[in-house]
Amino acid sequence: DDTILFLHGLGGSKREFETLIFPYVPDSWRCIAFDFPGFGRSDLSKTKEHGIPFYTEIVKEFLNTLGIEKIFLYGMSMGGSIALQFGAQYPERVVKIAAQGAPIYGKDVLRVYPALFAYETSLRANRTIALYSMTQTLAGLKFGVAIRPKFLLRIFKHVINIRESEIVGDEVLEIARRDFREAHPWAIAETVASILDFDIRKELRSFTIPSLILDGETAYLKPGLDTTKHIISLLPPHLSRTYYVPE
């Protein structure tokens, strides 16, 4: 049977796929999703290690445990980065990849969230102190989301425009709120640091996995969010397709 593994984004969980996607996938497909350590219902990593390299190895171990040799991968945001990294490292394990809004170069993320410049600088100065400080900030944000669900829209104001925030339904907002509340601040802090260090541009130039790169039309128009355009410019043309979801 054809099997798809869905990989969630930063601060997300498998809940979004189980609720919003799985019910609409044909029965001929086997859909699987799991929570990365520190997100959703998964405990924090025992080694306190988090980030794209670590999560990439978790995907491999997950497939090994289930006895799956080759798989289709769909990744949302950070999950898209992990899918592309996995395809670069273990091409023999992947049939095809779909990546949506996937960061491929950490410096591009700073264009979207300028406030992270200070975090990146502090990471270079003293990583331990920087991570601790970020966890405290995130803990405060989690409290704000707990008492005011729509506070999430303010947190992501650099990504979601006014029109998009108006069409976010209550079900989607509730899923995002629960995901954000369940995410461990340390896991988020370490993963953000990993994303800022991430650079898969070289690997994409010699990529061998057929890939569908997709995103919303609004994301394409925003500086720093045009990851789809950037990815397509690097992937071999005969292996890649682009799709922008109309609004």
Tens of pLDDT, residues 108-156: 877 767 667 777 788 888 878 877 787 877 666 665 555 565 555 555 5
24 has pLDDT over 80: yes
Residue 198 · residue 106 · CB < 8 Å: yes
How many CA atoms lie less than 13 Å away from 31 in the CB half-sphere? Answer: 19
Please name the amino acid found at residue 179: D
Please name the amino acid found at residue 147: I
What does the alpha-carbon distance between residue 224 and residue 144 come to, in Å, rounded to a whole number?
27
Q: How far is CA 221 from CA 110, 239, 244, in A?
A: 17, 24, 11
Q: What is the DSSP string of 174-240?
A: HHHHHHHHHS-HHHHHHHHHHHHH-B-HHHHHT--S-EEEEEEHHHHHSTT--HHHHHHHHS-GGGE
165 has pLDDT over 60: no
Instruction: Among 32-36, 67-71, 98-102, 170-174, name the one with the lowest average pLDDT.
Output: 170-174
What percentage of residues in the chain have a pLDDT greater than 70? Answer: 80
- pLDDT at residue 118, as a whole number: 79
247 has pLDDT over 50: yes
Q: What is the pLDDT of residues 169-213, one digit of tens each?
A: 677 777 877 888 888 888 888 898 999 899 999 999 999 999 999
Instruction: Among 4-18, 89-103, 127-141, 148-162, name the one with the lowest average pLDDT.
Output: 148-162
